[in-house]
Amino acid sequence: MQTLIIYDNTGTIFSSPITGSYKKPQGDLKYLEIELPENKVLKSIDTSETPNIPILEDIPKTDLEKTQDQLLETQAQLANLQEQILVKENGGK
């Protein structure tokens, strides 16, 4: 997904529309056009490098995704315990 990024000399990212509290741009405004992967979010712009580099991070998991992961782990542990019980009931074979 192509995304237009507008930022100032400090790497502060500006988006439109801007409402509520916001920072005033410091110096010239610049832009990057980058390919933003679906599983990433833009964190900041590294302005110490030329050309400037977008800093991406993983999108945090939702509470539902965390709960689903916990459920899968619990199910795997339960299956392991059931297998151990069956082995003991069959004389360790």
Task: Give the C-alpha separation, 7 to 90, whole Å.
Answer: 68
Among 14-23, 33-42, 76-85, the minimum mean pLDDT is found in 14-23
Mean pLDDT of the chain: 85
Q: Find where tokens 């993983």 sit.
A: 58
Query: For the whole model, what pTM was predicted?
Result: 0.53
Task: Give residue 1's pLDDT.
Answer: 61
pLDDT digits (tens, 9 = 90+) for 39-79: 898 888 898 988 999 999 999 999 999 999 999 999 999 99
The DSSP H or E segment spanning 64 is helix 63-89
Task: Report H helices in the chain.
Answer: 63-89
